[in-house]
Amino acid sequence: MKKAIIIAITLIFTVCLLFAAGCTAAPADSGSPDKIPADKTLPEISYENTPVHYSEVNGVTLGYREFGADNTEPLLMIMGFGGTMDGWNETFIGILSENYHVYAYDHRGMGESTDVDAQFTVAQLADDAAGLITALGYDSMNTYGVSMGSSVSQELLINHPDKVRKAVLSSATYSAGIPETEKLHALLLENAEGEDVDSGVRKEAVANLEWDGCYDNLSGIANDVMLITGTEDELTPQSVAVDIAGQISGSWLVRFKGIPHAGSSYAPEEYGRITTTFLEMNESPV
């Protein structure tokens, strides 16, 4: 693991974050991870007070919110299965918006976004992300994808690599049909077949179940990538993140002890700071 990475992590965290080949330690106060020390002031955001904007992309209207200064690096947040842009932890988004112009949006058929009368695919959701980046006036953005959002991000990296500057894959898997993701597969199947399931959620479930995965294409990813996983993640276990990191040359791997699936909701400050560290790190040869 690169010496510069280890130095950066040591300087920023008071907790121990060790990478792919090491042990892990829990973030401070992991039993109550949303608790922030009284002497520390973090940026505050409010979904209620932040307007929703809309953009036409690939035949649908995608709703999004934006946070942070206009002249900062863009960061696109790609939500996971069944979630909407208001599902991101506000402390987490607030930390990211200190140094980045953060865009959080709803996938087609979810929340503020419209849909068409047809089943979509994970690759199509990646096309939507690429189209939104262009519609917002950028050639490329940094991206952060969680759970299904990390699957969308992988398809984005494979099919639209020029649209991505750096990518964070949180609670990632390269397929919902592998033995390690048995619980995730059962959850998706339940939502795909449920009678009272929202149409958008059902379509997301079907898209994930029909996704062939991308393991064979991971080695072709040349973008800078960081994977974040929790050791208590039962839906996308840490072993899957290790496998993905092994396929993407030069990728970072951060494991948080005791954190479950979609860890930014449980340890928003730690996830925010490690994300910022990764995005700001200059990994070019000296």
- Integer angstrom CA distances of residue 29 from 8, 60, 158, 202: 22, 43, 38, 36
**Domain limits, the chain:** 3-23+49-280
Give this prediction's pTM. 0.87
H/E stretch holding 206:
helix 199-210
Lowest mean pLDDT among 65-74, 162-171, 174-183: 65-74
- pLDDT, tens digit (0-9, with 9 covering 90-100), for 219-241: 999 999 999 999 999 999 999 99
Can you give the pLDDT at residue 40? 60
- pLDDT, tens digit (0-9, with 9 covering 90-100), for 258-281: 999 999 999 999 999 999 999 999
Work out the percent of the chain whose per-residue pLDDT is above 70.
85
Q: What is the CATH number of domain 3-23+49-280?
A: 3.40.50.1820
- pLDDT, tens digit (0-9, with 9 covering 90-100), for 100-120: 999 999 999 999 999 999 999
Tell me which residue of 113, 112, 104, 108 sits closest to 126, measured CA to CA: 108
Which tokens is 6 given?
A: 């280890």
